[in-house]
Structure 1
Amino acid sequence: MGKRPGPVGFGFFAFVKLNIFRTKFSYMFSKASQYAIKAIIYIWTQSLQDSKAGAKEIGAAIDAPEAFTAKILQQLSRAKLIGSVKGPNGGFYADESHANKTLKDVVRAVDGDSLFSGCSLGLNKCSEKNPCPLHFEIVAIRQKLDHMLTNKSIKHLAVEVIKGETNIKRILQS
């Protein structure tokens, strides 16, 4: 006789947990948040060099569709994470009034609080008193995520890009 399979639910929850970790750390942000993060860092890199950037330029720089980029920039501007000036010498910019903004502010402006709250399995009544099978693991992940997203300002991240310590462009393999 062969080995007996483990409990019915174990394999499923191990799979779900593995995929949540893969999702949280490989693709933890929505596409909109990914573009927003790259866009706002790009805007900061331009602003630190006394330049504004238009939606078309930003979209090209972050490899995003222009219309989608424009929508994201509008959300970031409404949330007062960046500024904008209309006209021939206009564009998007960041200044000292935006200096303390963090990635958490960006993700919230674009996607709301869904990444930071609610049940990861979509249950309505998941809580400390009535937890889903993943509740406590997700709480720990969210605490680490919160720390990571609030640890450095966007301006600081842009300075790292300017210095060549990090990059916001996809690295293409040869």
Structure 2
Amino acid sequence: MFSKACEYGIRAAIYIGQQSASGRRVGLKDIAAEIDSPEAFTAKILQQLVRAQLLTSVKGPAGGFELTPEQLRTVTLRQLVVAIDGGAMLQGCALGLPQCSAQQPCPMHYQFLPIRDQLNELLRTHTIGELASKVQEGLGFLKQFG
């Protein structure tokens, strides 16, 4: 549903959020290893999120990536998705038609509208801090084991 970049970006942000909540910054190598993502690809995604001010990057020997307490409370999944994939999927036609509307609906228009609305609501109402807490509490996982 999301691009691979977006999946990695969300997983990275959750992992960084989990570490930040414990007062730690985390480096690129650790992030990539923890979310099973190629390092160079992860670096590009993280740069996008830093440019969008959804993550913080600190340079130097004690540097790394982190989320401030404010970012943990306020950065939503929707903001991450839009920063990485753009907003087309969250607003557009299920079939990618440029003029899909109630006046000119695509064959999936009326079935897709409620799904798109639910997805927007889910992404808009859940923060990185919330999801990081679930991982911290063992109620969610970023890696498959077994």
TM-score tier by shorter-chain length is over 0.9
59, 84, 87: which one aligns with 1:86: 59
**Following the alignment from structure 2 to structure 1, what is the Cα–Cα distance between the partners of residues 98 and 88?**
13
The structure with the larger Rg is 1
Q: Which has the bigger relative contact order, CA under 8 A and spacing at least 6? A: 2
1:22-58 superposed Cα distances (whole Å, 9 cap, x missing partner): xxxxxx2111111001000000111111110111110
**Following the alignment from structure 1 to structure 2, what is the Cα–Cα distance between the partners of residues 124 and 144?**
21
Secondary structure of the corresponding residue to residue 88 of structure 2: coil
**Following the alignment from structure 2 to structure 1, what is the Cα–Cα distance between the partners of residues 61 and 6?**
28
**Following the alignment from structure 1 to structure 2, what is the Cα–Cα distance between the partners of residues 97 and 80?**
11
Secondary structure of the corresponding residue to residue 117 of structure 2: helix
Gaps of 5+ in 2: none
**Following the alignment from structure 1 to structure 2, what is the Cα–Cα distance between the partners of residues 129 and 70?**
43
Counting aligned pairs with the same residue, the percent is 48
Residue number in structure 1 paired with 2:28: 55
Residue number in structure 2 paired with 1:161: 135
**Following the alignment from structure 2 to structure 1, what is the Cα–Cα distance between the partners of residues 123 and 11?**
14
AA in 2 matched with 1:128: A
**Following the alignment from structure 1 to structure 2, what is the Cα–Cα distance between the partners of residues 66 and 163?**
27
**Following the alignment from structure 1 to structure 2, what is the Cα–Cα distance between the partners of residues 171 and 29?**
22
112, 117, 137: which one aligns with 1:143: 117
Residue correspondences, number: 145
Residue number in structure 2 paired with 1:129: 103
57, 61, 66: which one aligns with 2:39: 66
86, 89, 100: which one aligns with 1:112: 86
AA in 1 matched with 2:50: S
**Following the alignment from structure 2 to structure 1, what is the Cα–Cα distance between the partners of residues 10 and 144?**
14
TM (norm. structure 1) is 0.80
Superposed displacement of residue 114, structure 1:
1.8
Superposed displacement of residue 124, structure 1:
2.4
Runs of 4+ aligned structure 1 residues displaced above 2 Å come to none
AA in 2 matched with 1:124: P
Secondary structure of the corresponding residue to residue 115 of structure 1: helix
AA in 2 matched with 1:39: A
Superposed displacement of residue 134, structure 1:
0.5
TM (norm. structure 2) is 0.95
**Following the alignment from structure 1 to structure 2, what is the Cα–Cα distance between the partners of residues 105 and 116?**
11
